Structure 1
Amino acid sequence: MQELIKVTVQNDQQFVSARDLYKGLELKIRFSLWVSKNFDSFEEGQDFTSVSADTEVSNNGGVQIRKLQDYLLTIDMAKELCMMSKTEKGKEVRKYFIEVERKWNDPQEIVKRGYAILQNENTQLKLENKNLTIQLEESNKKASYLDVILGAPDALAVTQIAADYGYNAKDFNELLHKVRIQHKVNGQWILYKVYMGQGYVTTKPFTFIDHKGRTRSKPSTYWTQKGRKLIYDILKDNDVLPLIERSDIE
Structure 2
Amino acid sequence: MNELIRTHENETGEMFIGGRELHEFLEVGTRYDKWFDRMKDYGFVENEDYIAKVQKRPTAQSNVTTFTDHHMKLDMAKEISMIQRSDKGKLARRYFLEIERRWNSPEMIMKRALEFADKRVKQLEIEQEQNKPYTNFGLIVSNSDGAINIGEYCKNIFDKHGVNIGRNKMFKWLRDKGYLINTGREKNNPKQKYIEQGLFKSMPVIIARSAGNIQDSTTLITGKGQIKLTEKLLEEIGAGQ
**Match of residue 51 from structure 1:** 53
> Is 1:106 the counterpart of 2:105 in the alignment?
yes
**Match of residue 115 from structure 1:** 114
**Match of residue 35 from structure 2:** 34
Residue 134 (structure 1) shift: 7.7
Post-superposition CA distance 1:131-161 (Å, at most 9, x none): 444899xxxxxxxxxxxxxxxxxxxxxxxxx
Note the aligned Cα RMSD (angstroms): 2.3
| 1:10-29 correspondence to structure 2 within 5 Å | 10=10, 11-29=12-30
Q: Secondary structure at the match of 2:90?
A: helix
Residue 109 (structure 1) shift: 0.7
- Quick one: distance in 1 between partners of 2:31 and 2:24? 11
Q: Secondary structure at the match of 1:58?
A: coil
| 1:41-190 correspondence to structure 2 within 5 Å | 41=42, 42-59=44-61, 63-133=62-132
Moved over 3 A (4+): 131-136
Letter in 2 for 1:54: K
- Quick one: distance in 2 between partners of 1:134 and 1:66? 45
Post-superposition CA distance 1:45-73 (Å, at most 9, x none): 211121212322233xxx44322111111
The sequence identity of aligned pairs, in percent, is 30
Letter in 1 for 2:40: F
- Quick one: distance in 1 between partners of 2:94 and 2:120? 34
Give the alignment's TM-score, normalised by structure 1: 0.50
- Quick one: distance in 1 between partners of 2:102 and 2:67? 31
Letter in 1 for 2:23: Y
Structure index of larger Rg: 2
Q: Secondary structure at the match of 1:78?
A: helix
- Quick one: distance in 1 between partners of 2:64 and 2:51? 22
Letter in 1 for 2:46: E
- Quick one: distance in 1 between partners of 2:130 and 2:27? 48
**Match of residue 8 from structure 1:** 8
Structure 1 unaligned spans of 5+: 137-250
Q: Secondary structure at the match of 1:33?
A: helix
- Quick one: distance in 2 between partners of 1:25 and 1:131? 48
- Quick one: distance in 2 between partners of 1:40 and 1:84? 12
Identify if the C-alpha distance between structure 1 residues 73 and 135 changes in structure 2 by more than 3 Å, giving closer, same or farther.
farther
Residue 39 (structure 1) shift: 1.1
Identify if the C-alpha distance between structure 1 residues 95 and 135 changes in structure 2 by more than 3 Å, giving closer, same or farther.
farther
Structure 2 unaligned spans of 5+: 136-241
Residue 94 (structure 1) shift: 1.0
Identify if the C-alpha distance between structure 1 residues 16 and 134 changes in structure 2 by more than 3 Å, giving closer, same or farther.
farther
Q: Secondary structure at the match of 2:3?
A: coil
- Quick one: distance in 2 between partners of 1:44 and 1:57? 28
